[in-house]
């Protein structure tokens, strides 16, 4: 299992350190960064970090592909960055110009990614409610329905508030002033007046300066008007703050800013954003109605490529806008769904055909993940590496995309992940065939990708088999297991007692700890040195029998950067059990304030039935049996 803390530490170190990070956030599978200086990134080092699936620049945004554990890794990243809500400099502070398209994509991604979980959760509730009502398992007049519907509709109805906060963070301005503007757009005066006018009634107009009419526009569930308003707020707030005296700026800068921004929003930006949104939704809908199969074919065959660049989040405002204007999305949501399933079909075909056990295991797990809507493990772990399965998935996605577009399949709510758990958002009491056509498209996409992959084939990973000579050279194992000796002299301690959660919780594997009495470290098994970092505080050994061991000297001693450590071996060197590996200055390490406890970890513990300590306590000496790995 990958160590999230180590992943975060490696990523931050190899993107130029925390001082090079202007902004950081994450989506479902990726860490995303805005960096002050892109030239400081060591791309190869990040890609070679255990637990990282890939890394790339997408425009001026740097992305590190993690997979399902991205949330846990981001928590570690955020702790090390000390918070990511404010940038240290503007994106153009280094004098480099961003392209307009790149900047726009970065803004869209940064605004909408943080609010997707709320939209996904409430959207799925709305889908489940539709299913329950359709099956007559719940009445749409009952109390439970009303409560659940309020939950499901709350985020979407009050979407300008959520977008205001996210946009303010992205534009680096006051979140609370942003909320104030959103509050004006959704104030009962505006909402009630719009409802009255749209129902054919009359309402007294609001006139500014006696000449400027404030149009009554429906801003519930809207996204473009509030983004434009927050964008204006950013510049006005900075401008006012420049000339406002420091003694009164706390009170009067917000006041003057709102007096300027709100009227401009109500008269110009709000209506403009609303009209743009309506036109955009109508235009896209027209395209899919009149050229549906062709549009679906093109988008279905290219959507995984868009996902690879990380720019699929640019479609989020289009999807939201479609829900606001049309009440459904018949464009991106269904296409995203069937292309995810196509990736699963290809990767399951790899699992069926591959003769390599590890490849099969990875293919099955990543295939299940793809069916649930997370395709990066399947794409980066299997399909892209083998190329032909990826091409098969593109072809299947294009064909199935044309099919669902031809039948006008619609998503009626935001689902977050486009996988099997999102099926409820395609249920409609007035359009019962909608779900059926989607299911047909899903099955078509999976089967086509599966068959195409089997037909075109792929280069399988080599299956390593031991020769007769290798088998005869395997050391004798004691009582059906692997004997692991003590590498240092000292007091035995249970691993769960060490003052490091990573080791104590067994995240790295099973093992034991020794509180050392001197600084001499010897090999606990015979094998090859596979790990010896520049900091020299740890040594990894792969035994001749396949046992993988990590000897880690001290807690947080990596911070010593190799001081007080003298290795006696090199990477790839073969050592015999009992051979000297390392010497460390125990007194100096203690004097520097570090815990010198030595951890001995079987990092491939999963390959053993169990790893048992031979003694629970007491003094142990080098070359005495410490652990027994039972196969």
Strand blocks (E) in 451-553: 481-485, 490-494, 510-516, 520-522, 527-531, 538-543, 548-553
Could you please report the per-residue DSSP string of 16-74? T-GGGEEEEEE-SSEEEEEES-GGG--HHHHHTSTT--EEEEETTEEEEE--TTHHHHH
Dihedral, 86, 90, 91, 94 alpha carbons, nearest 10: -130
Cβ atoms 330, 425 nearer than 8 A: no
Within the chain, what is the greatest distance between any pair of CA atoms? 98
Q: Is 27 a catalytic residue?
A: yes
Asked if 521 contacts 567 with a C-beta cutoff of 8 angstroms, the reply is no
The catalytically annotated residue of 8, 15, 27, 41 is 27
Element (H, E) at 627: strand 625-630
Q: How many CA atoms lie within 13 A of 467 on its CB side?
A: 3
Q: CB burial class (10 A; 0-12, 13-18, 19+) of residue 430?
A: exposed
Assigned token pair, 505: 């919780």
Residue 417's CB is within 10 A of a number of other CB atoms, namely 19
The span from the CA of 311 to the CA of 305, in Å, is 9
Q: Tell which residue, 122, 120, 131, 152, has the closest CA to residue 434.
A: 131
Q: How far is CA 541 from CA 155, 223, 444, 487, 529, in A?
A: 53, 55, 48, 12, 5
Q: Which two tokens stand for residue 78?
A: 């955020």
- Residues serving a catalytic function are 27
């Amino acid at each position: 299992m990958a160590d999230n803390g180590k992943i975060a530490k490696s990523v931050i170190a190899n993107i130029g350190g925390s001082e090079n990070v202007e902004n950081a956030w994450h989506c479902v599978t990726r860490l995303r960064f805005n960096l002050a200086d892109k030239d400081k990134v060591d791309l190869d080092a990040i890609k070679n970090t255990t637990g990282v699936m890939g890394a790339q620049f997408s425009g001026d945004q740097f992305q590190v592909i993690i997979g399902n554990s991205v949330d846990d890794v981001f928590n570690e990243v955020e702790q090390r960055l000390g918070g990511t809500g404010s940038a240290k400099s503007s994106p153009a502070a280094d004098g480099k110009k961003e392209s307009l398209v790149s900047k726009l994509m970065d803004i869209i991604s940064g605004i909408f990614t943080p609010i997707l979980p709320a939209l996904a959760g409430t959207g799925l509730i709305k889908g489940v409610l539709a299913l329950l009502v359709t099956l007559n398992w719940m009445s749409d007049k009952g109390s439970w329905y009303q409560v659940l519907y309020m939950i499901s509709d709350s985020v979407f109805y009050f979407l300008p508030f959520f977008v205001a906060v996210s946009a303010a963070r992205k534009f680096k301005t006051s979140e609370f002033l942003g909320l104030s503007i959103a509050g004006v757009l959704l104030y009962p005066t505006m909402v009630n007046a719009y409802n009255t006018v749209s129902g054919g009634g009359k309402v007294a107009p609001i006139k500014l300066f006696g000449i400027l009419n404030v149009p009554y526009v429906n801003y519930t569930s809207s996204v473009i008007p509030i983004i434009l308003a927050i964008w204006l707020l950013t510049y006005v707030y900075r401008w006012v703050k420049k000339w406002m005296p420091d003694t009164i700026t706390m009170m009067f800068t917000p006041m003057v800013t709102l007096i300027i921004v709100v009227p401009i929003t109500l008269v110009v930006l709000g209506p403009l954003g609303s009209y743009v949104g309506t036109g955009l939704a109508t235009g896209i809908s027209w395209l899919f109605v009149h050229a549906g199969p062709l549009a679906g074919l093109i988008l279905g065959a290219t959507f995984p490529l868009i996902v690879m660049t990380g720019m699929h989040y640019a479609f989020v405002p289009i999807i939201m806008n479609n829900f606001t204007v049309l009440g459904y999305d018949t464009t991106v949501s269904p296409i995203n769904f069937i292309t995810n399933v196509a990736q699963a079909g290809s990767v399951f075909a790899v699992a069926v055909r591959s003769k390599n056990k590890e490849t099969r295991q990875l293919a099955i797990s990543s295939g299940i993940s793809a069916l649930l809507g997370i395709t990066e493990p399947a794409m980066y772990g299997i399909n892209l590496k083998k190329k032909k399965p990826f091409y098969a998935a593109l072809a299947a996605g294009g064909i199935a995309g044309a099919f669902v577009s031809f039948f006008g399949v619609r998503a009626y709510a935001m689902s977050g992940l486009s996988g099997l758990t999102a099926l409820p958002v395609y249920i409609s009491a007035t359009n019962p065939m909608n779900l059926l056509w989607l299911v047909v498209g899903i099955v078509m996409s999976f089967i086509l990708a599966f068959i195409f992959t089997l037909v075109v084939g792929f280069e399988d990973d080599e299956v390593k088999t031991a020769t007769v000579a290798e088998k005869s050279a395997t050391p004798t194992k004691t009582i059906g297991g692997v004997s692991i000796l003590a590498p240092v002299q000292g007091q035995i301690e249970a691993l769960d007692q060490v003052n490091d959660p990573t080791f104590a919780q067994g995240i790295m594997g099973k093992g034991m700890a020794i509180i050392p009495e001197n600084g001499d470290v010897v090999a606990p098994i015979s094998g090859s040195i596979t790990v010896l970092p520049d900091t020299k505080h740890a040594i990894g050994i792969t035994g001749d029998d396949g046992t993988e061991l990590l000897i880690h000297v001290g807690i947080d001693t990596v911070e010593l950067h190799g001081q007080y450590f003298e290795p006696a071996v090199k990477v790839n060197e073969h050592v015999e059990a009992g051979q000297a590996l390392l010497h460390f200055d125990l007194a100096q390490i203690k004097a520097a304030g570090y815990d010198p406890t030595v951890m001995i970890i079987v990092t491939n513990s999963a390959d053993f039935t169990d790893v048992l300590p031979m003694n629970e306590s007491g003094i142990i000496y080098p070359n005495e049996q410490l652990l027994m790995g039972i196969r």
